[in-house]
Chains A and B, each alone.
Chain A
C-alpha cells in the first residue's frame, strides 16, 4: 500500500512495475533525443486513482527507480522518493482538468522555447504536426516557474483541450492518452520547431491547412513505431 492512501498501489508494487519502467524509458528517450537537459519531467497517471507518478527532482536523463515519486492531484505526497519536482502543479493541474489524459511531459526544448518568444507561431508544415491545430499551439504567457496551483490552473486553462501549450521563455507541456503518445508528440514538436525555424529563414512556408490536417488525421496511425525505434536507440547506446 502507498504510504498515505489505502486505495492506491505502492509505487514499488508489481502492478505498477510496467508503468514505472515505461516512465523511466520515456525519460531516457527524451534525454537521448536531445529534448531535455538537466531539467524537465514526465508524469503518468496511476490507473483508476487520483494520483500520478513523476521523477523526484532529478534530470530525466539521470532518473532511476529509487528517484520516482507518487503524488495525488492536490500534490500531497503518497509514496517513493520525498522530493517532488518544483513544478509538480504542471502535472497535477493538467491531469485534474483533463481526465482523459494519462501522461504529461514538461521540457525546456530549444525549439519550443524559440517559438514561445516569437511573433510567428509554430504551425504544422509537416504531417508530423497533424496532432496540432493549423494555427499551432497556444502560448502560456505567465512568468515564473509553475510552482503553485494557481499557476498550474492558469497553464491548464491555456492548454485548454489541446495537445500542447508553449510556456513563454520556458518550454512546453505536452499531453497524451499514453506515455508513448506523449513521447511521440514531444519529439515531433521539437522536430517541427527545428524544421519551421529552417523554413522561415527562406520566407513563409506552405503550411498544412486545417482541411489537409484532417486528411492526414483520417489515415491509419502507428502509435508504437516511433517508440520501438527510440527504445532501440537507447539500447544501441548501452
Chain B
C-alpha cells in the first residue's frame, strides 16, 4: 500500500514549530560536539510529505529559526529564506530514494574525511558501529560538490541501503529514521573514526565481525538517552 500523502503545511504554520526547533537543536549539537565547522547541513522531512526543512546558507553552529528553508524533493523552494544549501541534492536525492528516512546529515567531519581517502575503510572497533556494515560504510569516490541532481543520485546510489556513506576528500552523509538517530549516528561515526585511527597506530585491531555487530544490534537500544545528553550540552552553552 502506498504511503498516504498529506498536504504540505505552510512554512510558517505552527505545526512546524517543534520540527524546526529540533532541526536547530540537531545543528547546534553537531557544532557543539566538534563535528561541523563553517560548513555542513542537516535536513528533516515533513512527515508524510515530499518536503524537507534544512538550513539556508549558514553554518550549523550559526543556524537560527530565521535562517531555515523548506524545499520539495525536486529542490523547489517552498518557504523560509530562499538560500538553499548548494548541496541540497544530498538531502533531496537521498530522501527521494529512501522513503523510510526522516533525516540526513552532511558534514566535513575530520574522521570521515580521513577514512574517505584511506584504503582500509572505516571498520568497526566498537559496538557503536552496530548501524554500519562490518567492512565499514561505502565510499562515494567522485570529485565535486554535490550540487546537481545527477551527483545527488550517484551519492544516493553509493549509500544504497546503508546508514552512512563517506564522500571521498569531502566528508560524510548519514541518515536516520528520525533526526535524533541521524545526529547520533553522525557523532558515533566520528567517534568510531577516531577510535579506529588510534587503534591502527598500535597495529591491526580486532575488528568486529558481522555476527558480533548483529549480536549488539539485537540488544535493546536507548535512543532517547544520548539525545537528552547532547541537548544538555548545548543548553549549557546557550545559558552561559
- Interfacial residues, chain A to chain B (CB-CB below 8 A): 124-128, 191, 194-195, 198-199, 201-203, 205-208, 211-213, 215-216, 218-220, 222, 225-230, 232-233, 236
Whether B144 and A232, one on each chain, are in contact in the complex, defined by CB atoms closer than 8 angstroms, is no
Whether B114 and A195, one on each chain, are in contact in the complex, defined by CB atoms closer than 8 angstroms, is yes
What residue of chain A has the Cβ atom nearest to residue B201's Cβ?
Answer: A201
Question: Are A215 and B59 CB-contacts (below 8 A) given A125-B169, A225-B38, A229-B38?
Answer: no
Report the minimal beta-carbon distance from A127 to chain B, rounded to whole angstroms.
6
State in angstroms the CA–CA spacing of A122 and B113 once bound together. Answer: 16
Secondary structure of the A side of the interface?
helix
State in angstroms the CA–CA spacing of A232 and B28 once bound together. Answer: 13
Task: Jot down 24 A-B pairs with beta carbons below 8 A, ordered by A.
Answer: A126-B117, A128-B108, A191-B37, A195-B113, A199-B117, A202-B119, A202-B197, A203-B118, A206-B117, A206-B169, A212-B169, A218-B144, A219-B144, A220-B145, A225-B39, A226-B38, A226-B59, A227-B38, A228-B38, A228-B58, A228-B59, A229-B59, A230-B38, A233-B61
State in angstroms the CA–CA spacing of A228 and B197 once bound together. Answer: 31
Whether A215 and B57, one on each chain, are in contact in the complex, defined by CB atoms closer than 8 angstroms, is no
Secondary structure of the B side of the interface?
loop
Whether A219 and B86, one on each chain, are in contact in the complex, defined by CB atoms closer than 8 angstroms, is yes
Question: Are A203 and B119 CB-contacts (below 8 A) given A194-B110, A198-B114, A225-B39?
Answer: yes
> Which residues of B have CB within 8 Å of A215?
143-144
Of A128, A194, A199, A212, the residue contacting B118 (CB under 8 A) is A199
- Interfacial residues, chain B to chain A (CB-CB below 8 A): 37-39, 57-59, 61-62, 86, 108, 110, 113-114, 117-120, 143-145, 147, 168-170, 197, 200-201, 237
Whether B61 and A232, one on each chain, are in contact in the complex, defined by CB atoms closer than 8 angstroms, is yes
